[in-house]
Structure 1
Amino acid sequence: MDGELHIMLFPFPGQGHLIPMSDMARAFNGRGVRTTIVTTPLNVATIRGTIGKETETDIEILTVKFPSAEAGLPEGCENTESIPSPDLVLTFLKAIRMLEAPLEHLLLQHRPHCLIASAFFPWASHSATKLKIPRLVFHGTGVFALCASECVRLYQPHKNVSSDTDPFIIPHLPGDIQMTRLLLPDYAKTDGDGETGLTRVLQEIKESELASYGMIVNSFYELEQVYADYYDKQLLQVQGRRAWYIGPLSLCNQDKGKRGKQASVDQGDILKWLDSKKANSVVYVCFGSIANFSETQLREIARGLEDSGQQFIWVVRRSDKDDKGWLPEGFETRTTSEGRGVIIWGWAPQVLILDHQAVGAFVTHCGWNSTLEAVSAGVPMLTWPVSAEQFYNEKFVTDILQIGVPVGVKKWNRIVGDNITSNALQKALHRIMIGEEAEPMRNRAHKLAQMATTALQHNGSSYCHFTHLIQHLRSIASLQN
């Protein structure tokens, strides 16, 4: 019987993992698989908002206490958004490690047939193995970025250039992808005696992958075919593991306006505003849940948006929306009050906005969820990466898919974005909205969106990967029983 298979999901407490893994839970539930999500109390609302009311009685949510105080974090600091300072990132990861015993208790108590845990729980492989439960790894990134970062780790090409700005080609990676040292994550350039805490965590993640049953990737085969083949044949099969491509997971969720946290804007109001605009005439600007910008940079963004003459929706992550002193004088009157733009202070219903025909471009930090949501909606991207694997994603969007224009960021930063002038933003917006490249990019983006939808339909690539994964897990479950 379908209901005999029991999957337990353990997402890392950050929006980039909580939301797609909640979408994944919906997908498993839709296939008749008993599904449980483990999280901490303050992250339950995000999960409930994503799985939706129609499935909340079918998908079980279990909570474990997050050891904020025990690790030295402020009380209530239970996800990456709530980390008050970059200096506390390693402290947050220390708290994450303390979740090992509570997870093992739940695994022992509920005995799922499989554990799907975020990559940032490297110890989960050991816990699952100890209890003879297969563990699948979820990275939350695309396979191109996984391949690129692994090739950089293995072959260290950045050590063969004389300066931080000298370009190099990533060895063995298809596509002749060019990078500089400045674009690499700081932890990718540190080894040996200079090893950092984060470097050690990444090494543990690599070791835990080797001990896992395989990988689940939020992507679809046709989007990253060359890199999926490279990943499977060159990086996984030699280790006796495999990957399943079951995305875009956002398309598994039909309730586009409810994913994640409670939106800071009325859904009806934003749709009404978009309905009043012509097709492909609005720029959507959002930099995810972690990236921050100085007031000076925010002011440059405002000026660039205004000077471009484009209509826009701009999502601003600031805790105090009454503090608008950084906005250019008269900006709101000249733009938002006259219907040229909308500022959303906080959380936006991103998929709902991107899917609207009025949206013609997306200014994005190139987080994988945002990138894949734009691909699924057929929206070209103006790329503004900040940290993590986002510079790899930028290369994928601009060089491989050719559906994006770089705004010109030259340096990786842990959280705070690079300095881009209003003039640079204005020029990039002109290219992507009305320049000679705009229409060809839009056409390519629309074709990719059609491919994304097809991948999830019956007998599409993601549908078949998901079917094969469930069959695989059922066969393991039968042996366990």
Structure 2
Amino acid sequence: MASTDRRRAHVVLFPFMAQGHIAPFLSLANLIRRARPDHALVTMVATPAVANSLSTTLAADGVRVHALPFDDPPADDLIALFLASESLLPAFRHFLAGLMASDPTAHVQVIADMFLAGWALAAARDAGAASHSAVLTTGAYGSAVYFSLWNSVPLIPATTSSTDGELLFRLPDFFPDVDVRRSQLTDHLAGADGTDAWSTFISKQIAAFHNTDALLVNTAEDLEPKGMLMLRQLFNNVPVYPVGPLLLGPTAALSSPSSPAPGTKRNAILSWLDRQPPCSVLYVSFGSQYTIGTSQMFELAMGLEISKHKFLWVIRPPAGHDVNGEFRPEWLPEGFRERVEASGRGIVARCWAPQAEILAHAATGAFLTHCGWNSVQEGLANGVPLIGWPLSAEQFYNAKVLVEEMGVCVEVARGMHATVGSGEVAAAVEMVLGDTVEGGEMRRKAAEMKEVIAAARGIIVTGAMGRRSKWCKGCSPTLCIVDVTNVHVTHAHTENMFMHYGTYQWQGCVYDE
């Protein structure tokens, strides 16, 4: 039995400064506060821009925000942003030193984003934090393939596809073998030689993963059993725990920083959905950071019109233009927006849209997505089948697992330079939304994934016992999950860690077999 020491924990959350990474950390902060409102302090460390957008909402939920000085580089140069984030190290060290000096009895527990791990976890260790861990905000399968590829640079093709002759790259880290196509590689990954800026940066993060107390993955064991197995093969010297899905749903206590104020008039988009038949509308969105090219936008628009199905397209300027700038009519076929909106066939929304509520709406029948992991989980949490158009990073491998393992997705295109025709778009929409055998099977499997996610979230919220997890007495699974399918480790063995086959191992927590 573990000690009965009940010293207060202070959890420091440190997300990367991008919306796709911030949202899971908001969910994590919410879960910690709800599970241990009187026994855990939570501080979110962020850049000034992020801190300003979150401070009011987080303060209302009892989460502190600490801003670290940072001059944001251009957001469209991702590797520059990654490298610039390392300049936060001195300020983060100073923050940790002050935090621990102000309350020497607190158990400071640092949880850093996957792209800050290379230096933030070392800072936590040097400062004497009780524990430190990294959060993979992406899914298990996508993360495993992504980091395995970077482990293998420079990439050398193993063979070619027997169906279309495309180059295939075989990953040696997994059994059975996993093959990746050339079209599933970003240009900077395909061209990496191990000494370039991308390779150097990612290798630091991978090294940090091997030298931390635990890896926390934004997924559920039953949602991605193969992906979790692959991650444990790849990082076999460190515990790997599923702690998701880390979602901010329509009723979440913490909201997205881009959401409108509570109590405002019902969104016009939702009002339009209210008037549509169940499962009749295709929702189209490439996320908050991504977009497609002008020619692709033309073909997508024509394909949607040809399909005759209703749709809601949250649109941004095409690649090569300011993604947050003004949308110009010439980027779409002449009269397209006017025709579809006048006929009631669809909406082309050039504004913020409440994605979680759209995906939860009864009228939404399918989701054309870039396969970012937050969007994927939001869609599957509502049983919505997917049409995939992955654009970057691990999105290609998210699409791969959605198609090959889950059977809930059809891929219509791949990458920012893909050539796609309007007929292909229309065919994919008809397959998923129409009365087809394939669409029916995708809807059935998406409904199964909805149940899996509901069970995982039910554990976190209600305290129900999971099929693969057990609780410590008085804790939520977010605080202490014992993965009984793997190696059993007693609490006494890990008494000084807050990780114990789950997100948090609180001092004095007692687990009964």
Does residue 351 in structure 1 map to residue 356 in structure 2? yes
* 1:22 and 1:47 in contact (8 A); partners too: no
Secondary structure class of the residue paired with 2:267: helix
* 1:19 and 1:47 in contact (8 A); partners too: no
Q: What is the Cα deviation at residue 322 of structure 1?
A: 5.1
User: In the superposition, relative to structure 1, how do residues 57 and 475 fare at CA in structure 2: closer, same or farther (>3 Å)?
Assistant: closer
Q: What is the Cα deviation at residue 252 of structure 1?
A: 7.0
The farther-off stretch of 459-468 and 327-336 is: 459-468
Deviations 1:424-446 (A, max 9, x none): 11111111111321111111101
- Corresponding residue of 1:374: 379
- Corresponding residue of 1:41: 48
- Corresponding residue of 2:220: 220
Distance in 2 between residues matched to 1:5 and 1:321, nearest whole Å: 46
- Corresponding residue of 2:113: 118
- Corresponding residue of 2:17: 13
- Corresponding residue of 1:135: 132
Q: What is the Cα deviation at residue 212 of structure 1?
A: 1.3
User: In the superposition, relative to structure 1, how do residues 177 and 207 fare at CA in structure 2: closer, same or farther (>3 Å)?
Assistant: closer
Distance in 2 between residues matched to 1:328 and 1:191, nearest whole Å: 38
Distance in 2 between residues matched to 1:207 and 1:6, nearest whole Å: 26
Deviations 1:46-102 (A, max 9, x none): 5358xx47x62501111112134xxxx3xxx5xxxxx2x4xx333322321100011
Q: What is the Cα deviation at residue 154 of structure 1?
A: 5.0
- Corresponding residue of 1:105: 94
Distance in 1 between residues matched to 2:253 and 2:170, nearest whole Å: 39
User: In the superposition, relative to structure 1, how do residues 6 and 478 fare at CA in structure 2: closer, same or farther (>3 Å)?
Assistant: farther
Structure 2 letter corresponding to 1:380: P
Distance in 1 between residues matched to 2:270 and 2:246, nearest whole Å: 23
User: In the superposition, relative to structure 1, how do residues 446 and 248 fare at CA in structure 2: closer, same or farther (>3 Å)?
Assistant: same
- Corresponding residue of 2:66: 62
Give the aligned CA root-mean-square deviation in angstroms: 2.9
User: In the superposition, relative to structure 1, how do residues 396 and 316 fare at CA in structure 2: closer, same or farther (>3 Å)?
Assistant: same
Percent pairwise identity: 27
Aligned residues: 452
Deviations 1:301-354 (A, max 9, x none): 111111111111111123344522222122122112332211222432111111
Secondary structure class of the residue paired with 1:361: strand
Q: What is the Cα deviation at residue 361 of structure 1?
A: 0.7
- Corresponding residue of 2:104: none
User: In the superposition, relative to structure 1, how do residues 30 and 389 fare at CA in structure 2: closer, same or farther (>3 Å)?
Assistant: same
Q: What is the Cα deviation at residue 451 of structure 1?
A: 1.4
User: In the superposition, relative to structure 1, how do residues 114 and 469 fare at CA in structure 2: closer, same or farther (>3 Å)?
Assistant: farther
Q: Name the TM-score, length of structure 1 as normaliser.
A: 0.85
Does residue 408 in structure 1 map to residue 413 in structure 2? yes
Deviations 1:149-200 (A, max 9, x none): 34444567743237982335544646764422232234444555x6310110
User: In the superposition, relative to structure 1, how do residues 278 and 57 fare at CA in structure 2: closer, same or farther (>3 Å)?
Assistant: closer
Q: Structure 1: which 4+ aligned runs deviate by more than 6 Å? A: none
Distance in 1 between residues matched to 2:33 and 2:362, nearest whole Å: 30
Secondary structure class of the residue paired with 1:329: coil
Q: What aligned pairs does 1:292-371 form with structure 2 within 5 A after superposition? A: 292-318=291-317, 319-321=324-326, 323-371=328-376
Structure 1 letter corresponding to 2:80: T
Distance in 2 between residues matched to 1:383 and 1:256, nearest whole Å: 30
Deviations 1:12-41 (A, max 9, x none): 000111111111100111111321101122
- Corresponding residue of 1:184: 185
Secondary structure class of the residue paired with 2:90: helix
- Corresponding residue of 1:147: 144
Segments of 5+ residues of structure 1 without an aligned counterpart are: 78-82
Q: Name the TM-score, length of structure 2 as normaliser.
A: 0.80
The match for 2:245 among 228, 244, 248 is: 248
- Corresponding residue of 1:80: none
The farther-off stretch of 465-474 and 364-373 is: 465-474
Q: What is the Cα deviation at residue 144 of structure 1?
A: 0.8
* 2:480 and 2:505 in contact (8 A); partners too: no
Deviations 1:263-297 (A, max 9, x none): 59964322221111111100000001222222222
* 1:142 and 1:217 in contact (8 A); partners too: yes
User: In the superposition, relative to structure 1, how do residues 407 and 357 fare at CA in structure 2: closer, same or farther (>3 Å)?
Assistant: same
